[in-house]
Structure 1
């Protein structure tokens, strides 16, 4: 049984694929986790390889109660809002934010793949077969924190339209006949209603009038191995979240921007690019800047999601 499996990642695509070989699921907005079960011991491993077992005690307990000799479940930990939709901000609050010591006891895991089961590596099997085995493995679950991410039998375009009308982030398409491959191989696709990506915070513009004293966060994305400035975000903060973020940034102040293309900004406070902001946005401008951006929260510093990489801009 492998100690760590690099996850299969979904490629971003503008439209759902067409054909009988594609299945569709809701795109959950939380933390990608691999749950390793081996002879009664459970480890919950993040996408970046960190052990967060103690931060998800309910999921760890319920995984142990599945009664499996050995297994690796692939899924997303989420906290649901009153509509039953995943709420990334609520999950962040449950975890106490960056470096927080709180635990997400109210989180649930939506499992969507099974990579290993009772001594057998399943990654070479078709996705459809792995899902059937996952459903069997979860069938006798005595508790409620681990569930199956439902496979929706629907036309992709119609399902995306419904997901967007319901205010969800988007959908995931998976090729039923494909094995499990680490990285972005195209077997999984993500189609979003609103684009949401991780951007490095390279500085901010202070404001006495704004919530938390932050007028705008200044953001960077990766391009050709270096950070480039992609604009800012000035909405999505509360007085509490803005104030907490301002305190974190105060510890990272530096004398020059970590990204190119910032131009002259006399009011900017530059910081080391150690914080990754999850940002919703509608589109890009012709010169590579974010349009209609809104701050969602911070990715955990010790396990930050990939900073968005610009291609073809």
Structure 2
């Protein structure tokens, strides 16, 4: 038996076969809105870090700029708002209202800016103590954890309008960063590159009281951690150490004579000496009150210690930024001076021996 023809499975395109074939009307794109992303914006980017060097590397493949002394931040400008992410992964947009407002003005583009949040002194130098007064012990005691006068010195661009730029060479990212911030006036500024011999630049930076200089390989991709793609030269050594105790003051009952410090050696803490200079009177009182409020204090030192100081030992929680000239042969700080208290959220890398 012969089967009949199978009926068509699809309907005719047009009911009226004589009518002209037409496509749907396409809506025009709203140019005020950002383009649809090609790459998803990362929620957080682990920062590239500069490796400390005693001498600048040779060759013309390096670009140089001033080293800023503040808080490392990543500014995320998103369609839903602005996030300002610290190294510890915390959103500090509320702590930096000026930077947050400037980032909103950069829209509607979406981007991630890498840079340093700083407070400048009258000479235009970054002043970590001024930043610490707003966000450290003084700010915490007053309940005012805001740095309204902080600015953001941008030195890299990691994401722009749907494109993840981390696989591009640094010279390409830098070109896009300069275009993005061209003629922009606000609390977000471009960290300028300086075309000069690095040894001469470093000498001038130290003479002007700056912290140092940073060099970046022009052909490097953006990689987290200390890979050697970025290097730094510091005029004076400055590192974060854990506070493990304090020596009570004989003249000021509410203060202290010095802080006892520790660094990591492997997974253990080692005593590296003390710091008793660089403090303002108000900072001493605030810091002593903060240490006395720690969850517990210890009778025994939290580090191997055979010194003769009359010490009060505390939980190794607070992180002090300390400036020093050199190390002694037995790994103790020499000519140490206190710079400020690092916030835990800043996730400062405690120094490792």
Same fold by TM-score greater than 0.5: yes
Aligned residue for 1:287, secondary structure, equals: coil
Q: For the Cα contact (< 8 Å) 1:40–1:69, is it kept in 2? A: no
Q: TM-score with structure 1 length normalisation?
A: 0.95
Cα distance in 2 for partners of 1:216, 1:158 equals: 37
Say whether 1:154 aligns with 2:216.
Answer: no
Structure number, greater radius of gyration: 2
**Residue 177 (structure 1) aligned to one of 216, 219, 224:** 219
Cα distance in 1 for partners of 2:101, 2:107 equals: 11
Change (3 A) 1:96 1:192: closer
Q: For the Cα contact (< 8 Å) 1:212–1:238, is it kept in 2? A: no
**Residue 292 (structure 1) aligned to one of 328, 335, 345:** 335
Partner in structure 1 of residue 45 of structure 2: 5
Change (3 A) 1:269 1:58: same
Change (3 A) 1:96 1:295: closer
Matches within 5 A, 1:210-289: 213-252=255-294, 253-260=297-304, 262-265=305-308, 267-289=310-332
Unmatched segments (≥5 aa) in structure 1: none
Q: Offset at 1:29?
A: 0.3
Change (3 A) 1:96 1:269: closer
Partner in structure 2 of residue 88 of structure 1: 128
RMSD over aligned CA atoms reads: 1.5
Deviations 1:15-72 (A, max 9, x none): 1112110011111000000000111510000011011011001101110101242100
Deviations 1:86-130 (A, max 9, x none): 000101112353745331110000000000000000001111110
Partner in structure 2 of residue 56 of structure 1: 96
Say whether 1:123 aligns with 2:166.
Answer: yes
Cα distance in 2 for partners of 1:222, 1:209 equals: 32
Cα distance in 2 for partners of 1:2, 1:85 equals: 32
Q: TM-score with structure 2 length normalisation?
A: 0.84
Partner in structure 2 of residue 21 of structure 1: 61
Q: For the Cα contact (< 8 Å) 1:59–1:108, is it kept in 2? A: yes
Aligned length: 308
Partner in structure 2 of residue 132 of structure 1: 175
Change (3 A) 1:119 1:227: same
Partner in structure 2 of residue 77 of structure 1: 117
Q: For the Cα contact (< 8 Å) 1:68–1:118, is it kept in 2? A: no
Unmatched segments (≥5 aa) in structure 2: 1-40
Partner in structure 2 of residue 304 of structure 1: 347
Cα distance in 2 for partners of 1:210, 1:138 equals: 50
Change (3 A) 1:92 1:211: farther
Say whether 1:113 aligns with 2:153.
Answer: no
